[in-house]
Structure 1
């Protein structure tokens, strides 16, 4: 299968920094945990009418911030763009 789920337009967020809270500008997004290859199952989170949700895998608290554009996050390093995983030289 080609491409990543990041190709679908749904923002993907990661928590390599290990912060407690990530503010997001989207009500629907994917949490991947840490960047691959240390990611957890990529889960879809829909905040609906809520402004906060805790990822059941990595315990990151996602908080909706309407001042951010869709797909943006604070800290900015939490936005995952589907970077390719480095391959070892064979």
Structure 2
């Protein structure tokens, strides 16, 4: 029983580091980033329906849906607008 408790404690302690892991999208300062409005327009042109748009670390990040209606979490390079990482359900 003590082993199960120890294993659960170790797993729980690792959660914050896992949850906070986001990609590194750029090393450029925010003054070089495209504006949020320009990025939102680019995201829309890619067919995403955005529910949440935010800055996460060195990335623009969205939560929303693809043009096919699948849930999406996507990280973008804020300078180029390129997709750095995406997680699409379905």
Place the TM-score, normalised by the shorter chain, in its bin. under 0.3
Point out which structure has higher relative CO (alpha carbons under 8 A, 6+ apart): 1
- The structure richer in strand per residue is 1
| Structure number with bigger Rg | 2
- Scaled by the length of structure 2, the TM-score of the pair is 0.25
**Higher helix residue share:** 2
